Structure 1
């Protein structure tokens, strides 16, 4: 059998083999591989969004209840800010009058006229009160002057009364003497009678003087009473005028409130008229129309359609598990695979070598957990690397690989075998580094 050539080719007994060289080579290669750098990472999923609220898809609602009159746009149209989207007409009976604003304005003007009337009435009442106070002062001055005159008059009348009294006393003495002389026959009866008449005249004169004094005293008393009644009389008139003034002031305040209310109604009606035309709040594309047809009734606050801005500042929102949250911090790098864009990915430790991935930087890590039990992370474009494709749209899905520390491959294998978590990430200050870690 040793002479057979086939036997010599198949069986190599006693000959040297190359298997050990292959084994040694594979062993050396394996040792070299486990010392290669490995990037620890967290893989997650998310969606494309925008950094700014005004650049996200905006739902358009009807500000008032109404009936659709006509549409100015259709789904897919691109509109500019201020373009008319849809016109609605009124359905509430309070606003059906086409001349509602003009009629309310007439009511407002009438109420303003009434307000002006009451203002003028208050001014007239103020003038009336001032005149009454002046009249009161003049009346009191007049009565006080009259009292002073009566004081002077009574002084003179008292002097006249004193003189008349003295004259009457003298006449009485003379009459007594004449009576005695008449009894003694020294004088005639005619002379006695003449003296008696003189005495009677003196008495009458005294009585007249006394009556004058009494009349003047009574007049002084009446004047004093009248002086005291002046205050009461004019105070009543002034109080009555003040009462009318306060009533007018109350009407003024009431009218002011009604004027403000009517002014508010005119403004509200004018603003409501402007709400019949629903305008585009920003430029964008019209999508997802919720209403169709003409004459359809809509409620206030009911959704009509959605406008998507044309060129938003894109961002990505990804969601991470609570167990991974301590490993994530703003400034970390993350690689993205956008849905619809081809990519060859080394999803493990060499995402930098992947083809078709895009770079981002973590901007915000939210502190509140979502209903799905994950934490939301906002990522913005990293402008130092390849720009994100212009064809991406808000809402499209993405897959993210959050990059952590660079470690040897043997360390990562050892960590996974023992079930240890990845190392905590610490950002570097090296501005020239390929990624901020």
Structure 2
């Protein structure tokens, strides 16, 4: 009996030794209660939906972003005035380029001078033809007036010949009457035969005169018709000469136009070849030199250096997945982490973020970049703390950004994440879709 009781006491003592202590049990109960409480309040905890974008710092104005300096001519690098990291002002020399053919510029100048000579000759010919047209028009008027005067004179001669015919007819009629009268008197013995012969002679002369007057009238009419035709011919010949001169004038004008068309191209080539020294287009810093001096041949348009313009007007270029792009629009708030700046960012509770900088969405691209990501442009939030200066925040610095979307419950957000659903569209957009 004593032995069994001793064993029972020993067993109870061992059990007590392996039991959890009271503080441990209290902690376990507390954690379990907290877990259950968390599950109960989870649907009601507010959560800020965010989407993450990765990008870099850029200048807000496109002209202030890094630029490629190009070679204006074909040639070879002769001298560099800068090196990588050199700060330059607008108009400072960057590089000297020499043409591969040292006589090329002289030949272009000779070609330009030849074009100018052609232009001068064509314009002189144009002026000469214009003067000739004016002279032909003047001579045409004089020639037409002279031909018209000859035609009118011929008409006057026709009228004179008609009057002569009328006079000859009247004279013939008078001689006929006189001849008949003399014949009657001779038959009655009242006149001599000599008077009859004279009357017959006058009659014969009157007939001859009528024939002569008629011939003169016919000749005058033919001459009048000839002068009338000559008047039209003079005008047509003069107009033909004027038209020929106009054709020559058009040819001269076409030559002037061809020369004027070729001249700008020659001047552009000459200007490009003369531009053998490249200057900085803006204030900035030479970031990279792309060609070697004295050894590398350049073509027109080849890049020789990269310049980063000075600009305090910074922006951030972020790329966001297309699943979240429906809710991103201008005016959305953004929290930014710049490369080299430690941060503490709780996406759902931006109020407790530390080390981030504020931004506002300024632009959302209407199309993706070809891989399903959309570019957005973020400008500084003037109501937040200022971004670092250009000495620390240079163009190209990597950036991570959190774009704030809608306010939802934490339970909804976890359910959305577990199911890989996109953010909910705005109500007005859903109504449009329906």
Indicate the TM-score class for this superposition, using the shorter chain for normalisation.
0.7 to 0.9
Deviation, structure 1 residue 119: 0.8
1:393 corresponds in structure 2 to 394
The structure 1 residue matched to 2:214, chosen from 217, 229, 251, is 217
Residue 329 of structure 1 contacts residue 425 of structure 1 at CA under 8 Å; is this kept in 2? no
Deviation, structure 1 residue 88: 5.1
C-alpha distance in 2 between matches for 1:140 and 1:15: 148
2:135 corresponds in structure 1 to 124
Deviation, structure 1 residue 343: 1.1
Residue 55 of structure 1 contacts residue 312 of structure 1 at CA under 8 Å; is this kept in 2? no
Which has the larger displacement, 99-108 or 354-363?
Answer: 99-108
Counterpart mapping for 1:21-420 below 5 A: 21-23=26-28, 26=31, 31=37, 37-65=46-74, 71-85=80-94, 86-87=96-97, 89=99, 96-176=107-187, 195-275=192-272, 276-277=274-275, 278-294=278-294, 297-311=297-311, 313-339=313-339, 341-390=340-389, 391-409=392-410, 412-413=413-414, 415-417=416-418, 420=421
Which has the larger displacement, 408-417 or 225-234?
Answer: 408-417
C-alpha distance in 2 between matches for 1:201 and 1:50: 131
Residue 337 of structure 1 contacts residue 357 of structure 1 at CA under 8 Å; is this kept in 2? yes
Q: 1:392 is paired with a residue of what secondary structure?
A: coil
1:344-401 alpha-carbon deviations (Å, 9 max, x no partner): 2235434443333211111222231222221222222212112222232223321111
Deviation, structure 1 residue 115: 0.3
Q: CA RMSD in A?
A: 3.6
1:412-433 alpha-carbon deviations (Å, 9 max, x no partner): 445545655545579xxxxxxx
1:184 corresponds in structure 2 to none
Deviation, structure 1 residue 24: 5.5
C-alpha distance in 2 between matches for 1:90 and 1:60: 20
Mark the CA change 1:74 to 1:138 in structure 2 (over 3 Å): closer, same or farther: farther
Deviation, structure 1 residue 54: 1.9
1:187 corresponds in structure 2 to none
Structure in which a larger fraction of residues adopt helix: 2
1:265-308 alpha-carbon deviations (Å, 9 max, x no partner): 33333333332324544333334343333586533333333332
Which has the larger displacement, 342-351 or 23-32?
Answer: 23-32
The structure 2 residue matched to 1:18, chosen from 14, 23, 35, is 23
Residue 334 of structure 1 contacts residue 359 of structure 1 at CA under 8 Å; is this kept in 2? yes
Which has the larger displacement, 345-354 or 84-93?
Answer: 84-93
Which has the larger displacement, 365-374 or 28-37?
Answer: 28-37
**Number of residue pairs matched by the alignment:** 404
C-alpha distance in 2 between matches for 1:367 and 1:392: 28
Structure 2 portions without partners, runs of 5+: 1-12, 428-434
Structure 1 portions without partners, runs of 5+: 1-7, 182-191, 427-437
Deviation, structure 1 residue 21: 4.5
Residue 44 of structure 1 contacts residue 318 of structure 1 at CA under 8 Å; is this kept in 2? yes
Residue 148 of structure 2 contacts residue 228 of structure 2 at CA under 8 Å; is this kept in 1? no
C-alpha distance in 2 between matches for 1:366 and 1:415: 26
C-alpha distance in 2 between matches for 1:16 and 1:68: 85
1:189-220 alpha-carbon deviations (Å, 9 max, x no partner): xxx9xx44443333232222222222221121
Which has the larger displacement, 49-58 or 358-367?
Answer: 49-58
Mark the CA change 1:78 to 1:244 in structure 2 (over 3 Å): closer, same or farther: farther
